[in-house]
Amino acid sequence: MMKFNLLFFIRILMRHIALLIGVPILLATLVFFLTKNLPKVYDSKARVYTGFASGSSIELENTRLEISKTNIAYENLLNLIRSRTTLEEVSLKLFTQHMLTEKPEERIIGVQKLKDLREIVPQEVKDLVVPGDFDATYSNFLTYKDQGPHNFIYELLNLNHPDYSTEKILAKITLRRVSSSDFVDIGYQSEDPGICQNTLLILTNTFIKLNQQMKVNQSDEVVNYFLGELAKSTKRLKKSEDELLVFNRDNKLMNYYEQTKQIAARKEIFETQYQKVQQRQYGSKAVLSTLEDKLSTYDRRRLNSANVLRIRDSLSTLNFDIAMLTNETTLDSVKREKNQLKINQLRKKINGLENALEVTIDTVFTIDHTTDGVGSTSVLQEWLENTMEYESASAELKVLDAKREEFDRIYARYAPLGATMKRLERKINIAEQEYLSLLHDLGLAKLKQQNAELQTNIKITEIPFFPIEPNPSKRIIFVIVAGLMGFILVTFTILTLTLLDGNINTSERAEAKIALKVSSIFPVISSKMQKVDFEYLQNKAVVAISRNIILNQFKKQNAKKPLVNMLFSTQENEGKTFISKQLISKLCELNYRILHITSDEESLDISTNPENYTQIIYPIDDHLYTIGNYQEFVPKGMIENYEVFDFVILELPSIIKNPFPVKLAASIDHSFLVVRANRSWSEADANALSLFNDATTGPEPTIILNGVKVLEMETVLGEIPRERSRFRKWMKKLVQMRFFSKSTVL
């Protein structure tokens, strides 16, 4: 497994330092020349006061500041500014202004912009211009635009023109609320200072007008709705009141409830009076019966004489008339006075009749006492009084009976009128409540209408200014960004390719992919890395292999010499000959005698103790399959005693493309698989190695990894000796977090 740390990534990047420097410089240079003729950009700004948060309000209730509503109001305003309707109106008005401009004016449109515009506008659009009349020209352009989606003005507003396209205008607008205040900053950019200022000025006036129309129209619709409903409710209320008026007039009612209350009170008084009169009648009648019982039959006949009866009838009639006049109810004071005069006259007549009756009775009776010993005068006097009382009560009862019938008729008339009155009053009450509710809602709607008019009164506090200097060029920023992007792109590509690299590269990958142990690694020698001591690295790698070979000899002390070591590879050009030369040179240097059996005709040119080296070259053919001993490679008679050699180094060709000695494996003491680190381990390699292992019965081979990158050698050999500056040494310690490490104990 790769050890991913900061040093690992730095080393990867350092290998491609030329790309990391060259590509960013190339991109930066390219952008530098491409942006040489960038157009100048002018900036203008306007500031408007909205009053959403702290503006005046005439609402009497709920006057506290609601942040959510305020934020919604700001969002609505910003969305209105960005809306397509607003931008189309701004674009068309700007186009109208420019079409009415006869010659370039710095504060309206520049020379080049006006020239470019006149070149693209067709004649039929130019014919719509009314010189000196902005409104008429704007109306003509608007009508022309609405004719269809394929005319010039419609395409001008909806395609990619830098000054009139709604999308381009929107892209150049910047909106920002100033902190938490009621102010909103509106910015705009353009290549022409006049267009910049006028576009922003038209934009501010347009969205203020649209915002006011939207708010006022909403409140007007509500007010008009309530006005209409209130008019309908007024008609319903008047109709109900008219129904009650007609009802009262037809039934001659002034105040039904007071009238019924008075009738009930009068009825109660009447009943009390009726009972009293009835008691008087019953009492006087009972007394008369008793008195008549005390008189003789002859006396009773006298009392019932024609003259007495006539007077009694007259008294009864007069009492009836008095009762009628007394119980008559009238509001006319004159009539009441006349009635009182009649009553007085009748009472005088009654008094006269009573006196006449008394005289008549006195003349009739001549006997002073009754048979019971009671004086006739006192009995007659009492009888006379009770008779007059009885006649008076009877007359009053007749009148009161008539009055009772009248009360019954009044009750019969007023009873159904009450139910109808309740229904009409309930209808009026419902209509009145509806009317009052609508009137209240209308008042609230008008209040909100006035409040909306106050809130839509957006003011321009900073009029868009005319920019006289263009914005600072962003060319240097583009160049820097291009360089950074080039560096990042190259870095990302290098790291990605490194992490996705399928080559063996390291000893850990070799052991993982090949499933064999690595006995040694050899570095790749590069002329670019002149400060690296490659001789030291090669020596260390050769020592590692030599150590393994010598240790194998010690383990087999009782075995006959020489020990046979085989170097093979699955592919060609893996570096077997180079490693063999390094290994043989080291063993000869250690005064070991070496027999080198190889198919490569190149001479190794051993410089140290060449007498210890013997080379045998064999041909590559199918005869290799039949070889069962390394001695069969040696021509007969060439070597008589093999025991003089300490080691035999047998070098085999590629086992994928060439035959190999299957029987020879049993006599091999140790075998080495030479693999290049800068290639991948393919399925063909795995199959060839598996076939080789299955066909041979010798010891399991170990790997010699050739061509390993120098920096990877540190995983095996530790710190690689090379010339390093003091700064580089310090940076390496910093990256590895080894701040206090030393090269010696002291």
Per domain, the residue ranges of the chain are 6-35+473-498, 42-55+67-216+457-462, 256-454, 509-736
Task: Report helix, strand or coil for 739.
Answer: coil
Task: Report helix, strand or coil for 620.
Answer: coil
Burial of residue 482 (number of CB atoms within 10 Å: 0-12, 13-18, 19+) = buried
Half-sphere exposure of 732 (CA within 13 A, CB side): 13
CA distance to 195, 519, 708, 713, per residue, from 508 (Å): 68, 12, 12, 12
CA distance to 59, 306, 368, 412, per residue, from 422 (Å): 40, 60, 71, 17
Q: State the pLDDT at residue 128.
A: 93
β-strand 563-569 against 670-676: which pairing, if any? Answer: parallel
Give the helix/strand (H/E) hosting 509. helix 507-514
Q: Across the strands, what pairs with 595? A: 614, 648
Please give the Cα distance from 144 to 153 (Å, whole number).
7
Q: State the pLDDT at residue 404.
A: 81
Q: State the pLDDT at residue 374.
A: 46
CA distance to 16, 494, 505, 561, per residue, from 11 (Å): 9, 11, 14, 46
Question: What ranges make up the beta strands (E) of 576-631?
Answer: 594-598, 613-617
Closest CA to 309 of 367, 360, 346: 360
Q: What is the CA radius of gyration of the chain?
A: 67
For the chain, what is the largest distance between any 2 Cα atoms, rounded to a whole number of angstroms?
Answer: 217
Phi, psi of 722 (to 5 degrees): -160, 160
Please give the Cα distance from 100 to 547 (Å, whole number).
97
Please give the Cα distance from 359 to 311 (Å, whole number).
11
Q: 92 with 142: CB under 8 angstroms?
A: yes
**Residue type for position 21:** I
Tokens 């002390």 belong to residue: 557
Phi, psi of 565 (to 5 degrees): -120, 125
Q: State the pLDDT at residue 473.
A: 80
Q: State the pLDDT at residue 13.
A: 79
Q: 661 with 625: CB under 8 angstroms?
A: yes
Tokens coding 192: 């022409």
| DSSP state letter for 278 | H
Please give the Cα distance from 319 to 686 (Å, whole number).
152
pTM value surpassing 0.75: no
Tokens coding 196: 């910049």
Give the helix/strand (H/E) hosting 522. strand 518-523
Domain 509-736, CATH:
3.40.50.300
CA distance to 31, 32, 35, per residue, from 478 (Å): 7, 8, 8
CA distance to 544, 556, 563, per residue, from 549 (Å): 9, 11, 8
DSSP 225-253: HHHHHHHHHHHHHHHHHHHHHHHHHHTT-
Please give the Cα distance from 100 to 106 (Å, whole number).
15
**Residue type for position 548:** N
For 206-209, the CB contacts below 8 A with 24+ separation are 206/86, 206/89, 206/90, 206/93, 207/77, 207/80, 207/81, 207/86, 208/48, 208/458, 208/460
- What number of other Cβ atoms are within 10 A of residue 293's Cβ? 8
Kindly list the averaged pLDDT for each block of 10 residues, start to end, along the chain of length 746.
Answer: 61 81 92 85 92 62 65 89 94 94 90 91 93 94 91 92 93 90 91 94 92 75 85 89 85 78 82 82 79 59 57 69 66 67 77 69 52 52 72 76 80 80 88 90 80 72 90 86 93 86 85 89 71 74 82 68 89 90 88 90 76 89 85 86 89 89 79 91 91 78 87 65 57 56 52
Angle ∠(267,268,271) on CA atoms, nearest 5:
85
Phi, psi of 670 (to 5 degrees): -155, 145
Q: 537 with 722: CB under 8 angstroms?
A: no
Half-sphere exposure of 539 (CA within 13 A, CB side): 8
